[in-house]
Amino acid sequence: MIKNYSIPIHHDDITSLHAGDIIYVSGDVFTARDEAHQLLLKKDVHEIPFAFSDKALYHCGPLMEMKNNEWRVISAGPTTSFRMESFEQDLIKKFDINMIIGKGMMGEKTRKGLENKGVFLVYTGGAGALAADQITKIKEVFWLDELGMAEAVWIFSVDHFGPLVVAIDSYGNTLFRS
């Protein structure tokens, strides 16, 4: 049975997940790519205008459209996660992140950062329209003028988001070769 987990995800749920499991999630996610990772790491925790503890990190550079003075998601597929490998362990530690969603592999630093703490979930590449359909609300956007549409930090509410494969679990197990 494939289960839908709520974000924020509880530690007991994190530890119940194992590499290879397939799940869905519902709740809030925030997007962050390379430039957003760098910006977040430079800022003091108290300078960040949103809480990390109740959201999952989504490696995504969405394609958005402004229509009738409201944002609409056109495509929100995952971006290649390994580009964030050099930043991820520090981001996990600094902001207490326990769930990351992306595409492709992550390396040893991320695996170590998630041990006893969190999971890395893989969303299928090329499924940007499906992901957009699973976003139920655009809550906020930060640093849009500074970073541009794809690199800005977007806060989305998602419902039954996935399918997602647990690629790295909290026990340090990974679907990737070291």
One-letter-per-residue 3-state SS of 79-146 = CEHHHHHHHHHHHHHHHCCCEEEEECCCCHHHHHHHCCCCEEEEECCCCHHHHHHCEEEEEEEECHHH
Report the DSSP beta bridge partners of residue 78. Answer: 60
Active site residue 37: yes
Contacts with 152 (C-beta within 8 Å, 6 or more apart), sequence order:
31, 36, 141, 142, 143, 144, 146
Catalytic one of 18, 37, 46, 59 = 37
Question: Would you name the residues annotated as active-site residues?
Answer: 37
